[in-house]
Amino acid sequence: MITKLSTFQIVDNTGGLTAQCIGALKSKKFNLKIGNQIIVSIKTVKSKKKIKPHEVKSAIIVSTKKWINRNVEGIQLKFDLNAIVLLNKGDNPLGTRISIIVPKELRRYNHLKIIALSLGLI
C-alpha cells in the first residue's frame, strides 16, 4: 500500500536513486496503485545531471510491492520494489531510458511514452 512518506526507487536515467512521496495528484484518497501520478521529494542522487537532492518533482508509479489482480486473466503480479518514473512539466518522462519491465496496466492510463522507453511489458 502506497501512502504519504513511502519511499520509491527512481528507475529512469535522470541520476536519482530514491524519492519520498509527499502528495497525490488526481486522487482523493491515498489508495495509490500503478499508473497514479504523485508528487515526490528527491532524497538521494547518483549524479547531479538533471535533478538535485531535495527537489520536488511529479512522478508516475510503475511498480509496487502490493499484488496486482488481473481479473480477466486470473493472474496476480507482484514486484520486488516500489518504483517511479519522473515527469517534466508537460507530463512526459524526464529520462530517456527506463531500466525495468513495466506492467501493461500503464496502457489503460495512456502512459504510452513510458511503455516505449521501458525494456518491455508484463
Is this structure's pTM higher than 0.85? yes
CATH class of the region 7-96? mainly beta
Give pLDDT tens digits along the chain (122 positions): 788 889 999 999 998 999 999 988 877 677 788 888 999 999 999 987 788 999 999 999 999 998 888 877 788 888 999 999 999 998 899 989 999 999 888 888 888 889 898 888 77
Helix/strand/coil for 114: helix
Name, in order, each residue with C-beta under 8 angstroms of 54's C-beta and a sequence gap of 6 or more. Answer: 41, 42, 43
- List the beta bridge partners of residue 93: 87
